[in-house]
Amino acid sequence: MQRRPGTITSTSPPESDRRRSSGSGGETRDSGGAEIDLISLTKTYESGDVRALDDVSARLAPGEFVTFLGPSGAGKTSVLRLLAGLEFPDRGQVLLNGRDVTSVPPQRREMGVVFQDYALFPHMTVYQNCAFPLQVRRVPAATIRQTVDAVLNTVQLGDHGDRYPAQLSGGQKQRVAIARTLVYEPQVLLMDEPLGALDKNLREHMQLELRQLQQRLGVTCVYVTHDQDEAMALSDRIAVMRDGRIEQMGSPRDLYRNPRSQFVAGFFGKMNFIPGEVTGSDSDCVHVDTELGVVRASRESARLSQGSLTAGAPVTVAVRPEKVSVTASPPRGTAVNSLALTVEYIRYAGAFTYVDGVGRTRETGVVACKGPENSDITTGEPAAFHFPVENTFVFEREPADQRGAGKPE
């Protein structure tokens, strides 16, 4: 990811392809990372009534960068705690390079943890905090100074070494927490929202640093973030969690393109959801009757169990705005997935434009996303919203109050 100077800063929208293409730019990985197996991890906190983790299994390849994504309380931190050896699972195992480490104490796992709440040592300066992991490893003092100075510069805190954590701003504390973990280059990096308190520029700088370090050392990374862009930009794979379970795990592109449930679909990028009922299916398509008309989805993109394929089953149709095209001319009557809607609203949003179309009842609608080019679509006028059957998903309908699940704005 060596960058050209004099160029773009700031955020980018979902780039599901970026990972793949930028992989070539990185330096070659050595095989320093560890393979991690999570086997049926289950955890209920002593005082809690809920299962924080419920049968979580996953295999992480050496040097892989895996992000755990999910709504607040989904169990992301709990996964990290079990991995780091801070908690003991009720059931299940953690394997490190095939070895069962479930009951190995934290300090013998060689995992670096960036804690969600930083866990800085209040009685040590920034410098001392960062030197700590090296000192306990008996690194020579001169090396320590060099290394710590370097890592503090990386996190842009080179001149804050003598401060105590209480004398730092929130983002500065977070950077100390990162620096303290990076400084000793652990085999496995566990990071719990390590960049949450940083502004975009710094965050992107840090993302780059993290990714470079991770690739240089080939460490296996387990990452937690709430920032979907960040997850997409950094991760080889993403695990979407919900209520203590992994809902789906795959490459960012995979999750974006092939979400397995309404929840996952709603968790990445934008998505139109249209409630409906199955009316039937043929060899290619599933037919769904919605308020806006009949919608068809290819069999591959219909994520329905056999039971839900029966007519009358409540389902949700989903399609991404950028897969929806809008034309001012009314749709031909027979065209598949071409809905006649009224343009309610056109939002010009810097680089592109959103077109909101609503049905007759104005209760349901579809949003299309198009480039900034002008067109002849006008607010209040009818327009045709088209989308391909292969990009149309059908999910079993989830209860509306499902926490964190693509909750309507």
Partner 1 sequence: MTPPARRFRLPRGLGFLLPALILVGAITVVPVVRIVMISFGDGLANYQELFQSGVFWSTLRITVEISVASTVVCLLLGYPFVYLITSFRENVARRFLLIVVTTFWISLIVRVYAWMVILGRNGLVNDALVGLGLVDEPLDLLFNRVSVIIGMVHYLLPYMILALYGGMVGIDRGLTVAAQTLGASPLQAFRRVYLPQSLPAVFAGSMLVFILATGFFVVPSLLGGPGEMTLSVYMERQTFFLNWGSATSSAVLLSAVSIVLFVSMDRLVGLDKLFGAVRR
Ligand X SMILES: Nc1ncnc2c1ncn2[C@@H]1O[C@H](COP(=O)(O)OP(=O)(O)OP(=O)(O)O)[C@@H](O)[C@H]1O
Site for its own copies in 154-183 (CB under 8 A): 156, 163-164, 167-172, 174-175
Under rule CB under 6 A, residue 171 binds ligand X: yes
Per-residue x/- mask for partner 1, residues 52 to 81, rule CB under 8 A? -------------------------x--xx
**Minimum Å distance from CB 45 to ligand X?**
3
Under rule CB under 8 A, residue 42 binds partner 1: no
Residue 21 CB: number of other CB atoms within 10 A?
9
What, of its own copies, Mg ion, partner 1, none, does residue 296 touch, CB below 5 to 8 Å by kind? none
Contact stretch for partner 1 (CB under 8 A) within 84-92, 143-151, 276-284, 326-334: 84-92
Contacts (CB under 8 A) with partner 1, residues 253-312 = none
Residues in the chain: 409
To the nearest 5 percent, what fractions of the chain are helix, strand and coil? Answer: 25, 30, 45
Q: In the complex with its own copies, which residue's Cβ is closer, 282 or 401?
A: 401
Question: Pick from 130, 51, 48, 114: which is nearest to 81 by CA?
Answer: 114
**Minimum Å distance from CB 198 to its own copies?**
6
Cβ neighbors of 113 (< 8 A, separation 6 or more) are 80, 84, 86, 181, 190, 191, 192
Q: Number of helices (H) and strands (E), helices first, in the chain?
A: 9, 21
Q: In the complex with its own copies, which residue's Cβ is closer, 8 or 142?
A: 8
Which tokens belong to 110?
Answer: 């060689």
Residue choice 322, 337, 384, 393 for contact with its own copies (CB under 8 A): 322
Helix H or strand E segment including 318:
strand 314-319
Are 343 and 378 in contact by the 8 Å Cβ rule? The answer is yes
What, of its own copies, Mg ion, ligand X, none, does residue 233 touch, CB below 5 to 8 Å by kind? none
Contacts (CB under 6 A) with ligand X, residues 70-89 = 70, 72-78
Q: Is 218 helix (H, G, I), strand (E, B) or coil?
A: coil
* Size of site (CB under 8 A) for its own copies: 99
C-alpha 229/C-alpha 375 separation (Å) is 29
Question: Pick from 156, 145, 164, 231: which is nearest to 199 by CA?
Answer: 156
Cβ neighbors of 10 (< 8 A, separation 6 or more) are 200, 201, 204
**Minimum Å distance from CB 81 to partner 1?**
6
Residue choice 358, 377, 384, 394 for contact with its own copies (CB under 8 A): 358
Contacts (CB under 5 A) with Mg ion, residues 152-181 = 169-170
For 105, counting Cβ atoms within 10 Å of its Cβ (0-12 exposed, 13-18 middle, 19+ buried), the class is exposed
Residue choice 270, 299, 386, 397 for contact with its own copies (CB under 8 A): 270
**Minimum Å distance from CB 346 to Mg ion?**
37
